[in-house]
């Protein structure tokens, strides 16, 4: 312990300095480098690096012209898309409008031909009813002329042959599906509404005529009409399914005779029979000159509008 205390501090300092000098001698370059400052002309690498800023970085501020240009491009894109969609819908609607117009035109044109035939047949039936009513008043009920039973048959027995049933399948489909909106012509839209009313009126008159046939016409012919005559007439047709009205027209043009009689002639009331036929005729005349005429006129106007607006044939 005494020896450690007697160690000279100056000797330790000298030893430390000697070690430093020794290290300097071993690494002369390092010591020189620590003494002399670096005088190189090279710039730090960070000064030559390019700085890339994100377009949305807070330090990358755009001018108002750039914002306006972006807004204008977005606006034009949306606008062009809107117009393109409108053009596509317009082309599609125009195609559908033309297709619906063609279908409606075909349906109404077909009915216009049918109603013309029915009108001519009804005029002929009215003449037969005039003849029959006049005959009932004062002519022989026993010796019947050849033309009596054809007139008796057309006036009382035949009903469906003179009834006009308008078709409205396409019109109802367009109305129920909302497709009538494709027709932009105001006059055409009005006429389509008018034709709907006309169709309903014609059907109502058909019901009234049939009700009058059911009573009293049906009871009248069941009592007085000789159904054997019409049964023999059918045998003269070209086939069993021939329309009776067509066979009657052929019979009138020929020379053959089919015998017929008024049944229960003893109870036949001439005045009652004549008045009933005249009343029935007036009902048919009213239907022809009012409901059917209105339908024909409206049908013709619609066909004219469709031909004019859609170049239909």
pLDDT digits (tens, 9 = 90+) for 254-312: 999 999 999 999 999 999 999 999 999 999 999 999 999 999 999 999 999 999 999 88
Can you tell me the distance from the alpha carbon of 33 to that of 121, in angstroms, rounded to the nearest whole number?
132
* 145-160: average pLDDT: 96
Q: Which residue in 241, 224, 239 sits closest to 148, CA to CA?
A: 224
Query: What is the CB-side half-sphere exposure of residue 177 using CA atoms within 13 A?
Result: 11
Q: Using 50, 70 and 90 to split pLDDT, how confident is the model at 7?
A: very low
Q: How many helices (H) and strands (E) does the chain have?
A: 13, 0
Reported as a pLDDT band with limits 50, 70 and 90, residue 22 is very low
* Percent of the chain residues topping a pLDDT of 90: 59
Q: What is the pLDDT of residue 233?
A: 94
Q: Is the pLDDT of residue 73 over 60?
A: yes
Res. 183 pLDDT band, cuts 50 70 90: confident
- Please check whether residue 130 is in contact with residue 281, taking contact to mean a CB–CB distance below 8 angstroms: yes
pLDDT at 170 over 90: yes
Burial degree of 306 (CB within 10 A; 0-12, 13-18, 19+): buried
123, pLDDT greater than 70 = yes
- CA–CA dist 305, 191 (Å, integer): 9
Contact 119, 297 (CB under 8 A): no
- Of 262 and 49, which is predicted with more confidence? 262
| Whole-number Cα distances in Å, 257 to 82, 232, 233 | 79, 10, 10
Angle of the 64-138 helix axis to the 270-286 helix axis, nearest 10: 160
Grouping H, G, I as helix, E, B as strand and the rest as coil, residue 133 is helix
From the list 165, 177, 154, 171, the residue with the least C-alpha distance to 280 is 154
Burial class (CB in 10 A: 0-12, 13-18, 19+), 27: exposed
pLDDT band at 56 (very low <50, low <70, confident <90, very high): low
Tell me 62's DSSP state: P
What's residue 143's pLDDT? 95
Cα–Cα distance for residue pair 240/246, rounded to 1 Å: 12
Q: Taking the CA atoms of 77, 83, 86 and 91 in sequence, report the sign of the dihedral they define.
A: negative
Q: Looking at 19-28, 191-200, 246-255, which range is the least confident one?
A: 19-28
Quick one: CA dihedral 99, 172, 114, 249, positive or negative?
positive
Contact 107, 170 (CB under 8 A): yes
More confident residue, 7 or 60: 60
**How distant, in Å, are the alpha carbons of 96, 125, 126, 129 from that of 299?**
22, 24, 24, 29
- Residue 84 pLDDT: 62
pLDDT of residue 59: 52
| pLDDT, mean of residues 159-174 | 94
């Amino acid at each position: 312990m005494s020896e450690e205390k007697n160690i000279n501090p100056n000797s330790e300092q000298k030893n430390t300095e000697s070690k430093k000098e020794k290290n300097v001698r071993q690494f002369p370059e390092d010591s020189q480098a620590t003494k002399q400052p670096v005088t190189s002309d090279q710039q730090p690498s960070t000064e030559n690096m390019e700085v890339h800023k994100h377009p949305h970085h807070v330090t990358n501020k755009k001018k108002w012209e750039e914002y306006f240009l972006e807004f204008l491009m977005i606006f034009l894109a949306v606008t062009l898309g809107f117009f393109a969609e409108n053009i596509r819908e317009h082309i599609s609607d125009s195609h559908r409008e033309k297709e619906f117009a063609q279908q409606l035109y075909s349906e109404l044109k077909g009915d216009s031909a049918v109603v013309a035939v029915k009108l001519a047949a009804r005029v002929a039936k009215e003449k037969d009813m005039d003849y029959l009513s006049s005959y009932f008043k004062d002519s022989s009920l026993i010796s019947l002329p050849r033309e009596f039973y054809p007139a008796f048959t057309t006036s009382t027995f035949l009903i469906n042959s003179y009834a006009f049933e308008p078709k409205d399948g396409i019109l109802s489909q367009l109305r129920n599906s909302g497709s009538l909106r494709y027709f932009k012509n105001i006059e055409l839209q009005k006429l389509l509404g008018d034709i709907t009313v006309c169709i309903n009126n014609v059907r109502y008159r058909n019901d009234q005529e049939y009700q009058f046939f059911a009573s009293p016409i049906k009871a009248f012919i069941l009592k007085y009409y000789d159904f054997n005559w019409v049964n023999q007439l059918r045998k003269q047709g070209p086939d069993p399914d021939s329309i009776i009205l067509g066979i009657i027209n052929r019979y009138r043009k020929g020379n053959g005779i089919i015998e017929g009689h008024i049944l229960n002639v003893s109870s036949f009331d001439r005045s009652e029979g004549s008045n009933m036929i005249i009343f029935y005729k007036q009902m048919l005349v009213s239907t022809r000159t009012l409901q059917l005429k209105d339908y024909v006129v409206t049908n013709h106007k619609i066909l004219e509008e469709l031909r004019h607006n859609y170049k239909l044939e």
